[in-house]
Structure 1
Amino acid sequence: MKLKEYLPALLTALKLKRIPIEELKRKNGESLPIIVTLTSIPSRLNIIDLTIRSILNQPQKPERILLWLHQDLKNQIPSKLAELQGDIFEIRFQDGLTCSHRKLIYALQEFPEHTLVTCDDDLIYHSTWLASLYNEHLQHPKSIIANECRLISYDENGELLPYKQWKMHKNTESNDQRLLPIGYGGVLYPAHSLHQDAIKDELFLKLAPKADDLWFRMMSLLNGTEVRRPKQPAPKPTPIAGSQKISLKKTNVRQDGNREQWKALSEYYAVTLTGSQQ
């Protein structure tokens, strides 16, 4: 987190904390027919209440918010997180996965007919966040919608470039095959938008064990599902101060793990991407 981001982050967090719990838990009219699903790790249990608060604070709330945690954490939930549970927010415990993929895997299994939205556990989301995804979904109901995307990029010889050279994609009209939804901005998955292999843990733990974004993108490619950015993307979420002590950025970005995992996925599924060069 950059030094200049600390003060805005702290002020945003303070504003959220001042909202009464009763107000956050209250349903305001008709909910959006969406389930928001996410996961977390032990080091973030003391800050993820801010993420949940920001989702509960959306003018149009989702039907449900599900936080998937490992069973070992059942007795370690801070009261400031536990007290947010109610008709909308629920913590669910599982014995299985410990990887980031579980943010979507369990929801896919339990709610296969629902529209699902994933998000990260170390961010505060803007008040227009959920509506931006849902409004675009209404226009393109079979597409995956992502507020933030990168473009999986190759050189002139067709060799995959380092992940740092996969530029952020700003075009909101494009459905280029190479678009990669970036989880931190929030990603909407319509029912049946992913290939049946999506929930096969033996495959994603082998091919992309630390890159759920890449795994789910490959699953959408295999299923022929396009990716789009909203015409009016929500502002970027605000990082939560102190949330990046443990993250996948070192291996996936700095050590270029994302490139290696995308290569493994492409080779296994024999997928070659096409799209206009931009």
Structure 2
Amino acid sequence: MKLKEYIPAMKAAYRLKKIPLPTLKASTGKLLPLIVTLTSIPSRLGIIDLTIRSLLNQTAKPEKILLWLNEDLRNQIPKKLTDLEGDIFEIRYQTELTCSHRKLIYSLVEFPETTLVTCDDDLIYTNTWLESLYKEHQQHPKSVIANECRMISYDTEGKLLPYKQWKMQKDANLADQKLLPIGYGGVLYPAHSLHGDVTNQSLFLQLTPKADDLWFRMMSFLQGTEVRRAATPSSKPTPIAGSQKISLKKTNVRQDGNREQWQALCDHYNVKL
């Protein structure tokens, strides 16, 4: 974490910790007809309660927040996280996967008719984040909506450029075939917006073992689903202090694993966006 991010992160964490549990866990008021779904890793179990608190502190709460964890972690969950469980927040356990794809895969299987929103486990989200995404969904009910996106890019000869050259998009309300939703900002997936291969574990572990964003983008493309950057993107979420000790960034960005995995997808499906 950069030094300039540390103080805002500590302030945001302090404010969330001061909110009483009954207030956070209350299922009264406006509930949105969607599920927020995410996953985590052992090194973040001590801080993910802050992410969950921020999700429970939304101006309009979801019907459910599902945290998918590996069965091996069942007896390692901190009390400050289990204290948040209730009508809205629930921890569910699975045994097959350890990759980031599980943030969405299991919820797709369990709730195929429900709008799903993914987010990351190392961030604090602003309290209007979810309601803002849902308003965008109401305007474009069949589209995948994202707050943060890159543009998949090629050189003049049609060769895929390194991932670092896939520029972050600043234009709001943008829909483009080459638009790649970036998971940390939150991504909304309407029911039936992804191709049937989306839950094919052997395939996504072969083609995109460390890049769930790329897998889900190809699945939306194959389904013919439009991808849009939000017309009014939410403020960037606040990183939680100490959350980046283990990250896929080194492999996927610095070593350009994202380009390799996207090329593998395009080769397998014989497509080019």
User: Same fold per TM (> 0.5)?
Assistant: yes
* Residues 88-107 of structure 1 mapped to structure 2, 5 A cutoff: 88-107=88-107
Give the match for residue 60 of structure 1: 60
> Which SS does the other structure have where 2:76 is aligned?
coil
Give the match for residue 162 of structure 1: 162
Give the match for residue 173 of structure 1: 173
Give the match for residue 276 of structure 1: none
Q: Distance in 1 between matches of 2:78 and 2:109?
A: 28
Q: Distance in 2 between matches of 1:130 and 1:103?
A: 17
Q: Distance in 2 between matches of 1:87 and 1:28?
A: 10
Give the match for residue 186 of structure 1: 186
Q: Distance in 2 between matches of 1:174 and 1:46?
A: 37
The answer (yes or no) to whether the contact 2:174–2:231 under 8 Å persists in 1 is no
The answer (yes or no) to whether the contact 1:150–1:181 under 8 Å persists in 2 is yes
Give the match for residue 71 of structure 1: 71
Offset at residue 28 of structure 1 (A): 3.3
**Structure 2 residue identity aligned to 1:119:** C
Q: Distance in 1 between matches of 2:227 and 2:260?
A: 22
> Which SS does the other structure have where 1:67 is aligned?
strand
**Structure 1 residue identity aligned to 2:62:** P
Q: 2:83 matched to 1:112? A: no
**Structure 1 residue identity aligned to 2:27:** K
Q: Distance in 2 between matches of 1:128 and 1:266?
A: 36
Q: Distance in 2 between matches of 1:165 and 1:107?
A: 32
The answer (yes or no) to whether the contact 1:40–1:68 under 8 Å persists in 2 is yes
Offset at residue 100 of structure 1 (A): 0.2
Offset at residue 173 of structure 1 (A): 2.9
> Which SS does the other structure have where 1:75 is aligned?
helix
Offset at residue 119 of structure 1 (A): 0.3
The answer (yes or no) to whether the contact 1:193–1:220 under 8 Å persists in 2 is yes
Offset at residue 170 of structure 1 (A): 1.7
**Structure 2 residue identity aligned to 1:27:** S
> Which SS does the other structure have where 1:74 is aligned?
helix
Structure 1-normalised TM-score? 0.97
**Structure 2 residue identity aligned to 1:112:** P
**Structure 1 residue identity aligned to 2:129:** W
The answer (yes or no) to whether the contact 1:28–1:61 under 8 Å persists in 2 is no
Give the match for residue 147 of structure 1: 147
Identity of aligned residues (%): 74
The answer (yes or no) to whether the contact 1:28–1:60 under 8 Å persists in 2 is no
The answer (yes or no) to whether the contact 1:24–1:57 under 8 Å persists in 2 is yes
Structure 2-normalised TM-score? 0.99
> Which SS does the other structure have where 2:91 is aligned?
strand
Give the match for residue 204 of structure 1: 204
Give the match for residue 213 of structure 2: 213
1:237-267: per-residue Cα shift (whole Å, max 9, x none)? 0000000000100000000000000000000
Moved over 3 A (4+): none
Offset at residue 229 of structure 1 (A): 1.5
> Which SS does the other structure have where 1:209 is aligned?
coil
Unaligned residue ranges in structure 2 (runs of 5+)? none
Q: Distance in 2 between matches of 1:119 and 1:218?
A: 18
> Which SS does the other structure have where 2:68 is aligned?
strand
Give the match for residue 9 of structure 1: 9
Offset at residue 30 of structure 1 (A): 2.9
Q: Distance in 1 between matches of 2:270 and 2:134?
A: 33
Unaligned residue ranges in structure 1 (runs of 5+)? 274-278
Q: Distance in 2 between matches of 1:124 and 1:260?
A: 30
